[in-house]
Amino acid sequence: AQSVTQLGSHVSVSEGALVLLRCNYSSSVPPYLFWYVQYPNQGLQLLLKYTTGATLVKGINGFEAEFKKSETSFHLTKPSAHMSDAAEYFCAVTVADRGSTLGRLYFGRGTQLTVWP
Amino acid sequence: KAGVTQTPRYLIKTRGQQVTLSCSPISGHRSVSWYQQTPGQGLQFLFEYFSETQRNKGNFPGRFSGRQFSNSRSEMNVSTLELGDSALYLCASSPTGAGNQPQHFGDGTRLSIL
């Protein structure tokens, strides 16, 4: 079974500070990993994805994440926070094999990011 | 390219009623998935449709059903509404539903049960 754990339901940073949002997953097969962002009263917007290849992936708005298989982690970072980054962030996983879980996203509980001026 | 469109954006219903939500995927996308988002349970998978067939189903009661039309548009129906069905219902589409394809989400339908 697949599951995702996001450490810290709330993270606060000052504008210009490093953003680090943590995500750990469990999967019995190689995973595909995603980060989504949700702004108030909106749906989910894809930030970045890891499928295969380079383990450091870059996304939109200056975010990046590194897939670490040995640590089963996929933490999201941004060197310098901006006020517009305030939102809720979701880590999600699907699996690489065929079967009943094909196309199904398993989400973490989300991390609310607050950016202080 | 137009994104995923969900209608209506807001709905208010009373217990016992039924409701139908609509989702138009991105043009060319044949896989449509539905998710329920609540503060208590987070984001939970309802079901996925591909080429008019339900291919995958989450752990929800039979009151939750869906269908997909030949143009890939999808509808979700909830019968005998309960207070606990109050949630944001999100629709997502992808080309074929393969696990390595990111899903593109609509802005959701917020359903409130009185």
- pLDDT at position B47 is 93
Residue A7 has pLDDT above 70, yes or no: yes
Output the pLDDT for position A97: 56
Question: What 3-state class would DSSP assign to A84?
Answer: helix
Chain B contact present for A90, CB below 8 A? yes
Instruction: Tell me the residues of B at the A interface, defined by beta carbons under 8 Å apart.
Output: 4, 6, 31, 33, 35, 42-43, 45, 48, 50, 55-56, 58, 90, 92, 94, 97-108
Query: Residue B43: which of A90, A94, A100 has the nearest Cβ?
Result: A90
pLDDT at A104: 86
Please name the residues between 64 and 83 in chain A that touch chain B, using a CB distance below 8 Å. Answer: none
pLDDT at B97: 85
Predicted local confidence at residue A41, as pLDDT: 87
Instruction: Note the pLDDT of residue A96.
Output: 60
Confidence label for A111 from pLDDT (cuts 50, 70 and 90): very high
pLDDT for position A94: 87
Question: What is chain A's mean pLDDT, rounded?
Answer: 91
Token reading at B102 = 């990111």
The confidence score (pLDDT) of residue A30 equals 76
The least confident of A78-92, A98-112, B37-51 is: A98-112
Flag whether pLDDT at B87 surpasses 80.
yes
The three-point CA angle B4-B6-B12 to 5° equals 160
CB of B22 within 8 A of CB of B6?
yes
Give the model's pLDDT for residue B79.
Answer: 96
φ, ψ of residue A50 in degrees (nearest 5): -120, 125
Confidence label for A101 from pLDDT (cuts 50, 70 and 90): low
Percent residues over pLDDT 90 in chain B = 90
Task: State the average pLDDT for chain B.
Answer: 95
C-beta of residue B16 within 8 angstroms of C-beta of residue B103: no
Torsion of CA B108, A98, B26, B6, to 10 degrees: -20
For the cut 80, the answer to whether the pLDDT of residue B111 exceeds it is: yes
**Per-residue pLDDT at A98 exceeds 60:** no
**Residue B44 — pLDDT band, cuts 50, 70, 90?**
very high
Q: For residue A27, what pLDDT is reported?
A: 79
Task: Note whether A83 and A15 are within 8 A (CB).
Answer: yes
Secondary structure percentages of chain A, helix, strand, coil, to 5: 5, 50, 45
| Strand partners for A74 | A67
**3-state class (DSSP) for residue A115:** strand
Residue A99: exposed, middle, or buried by beta-carbon count in 10 A (0-12, 13-18, 19+)?
exposed
Contact assessment for residue A45 and residue A38, using Cβ atoms and an 8 Å cutoff: yes
Largest CA distance in chain B: 39
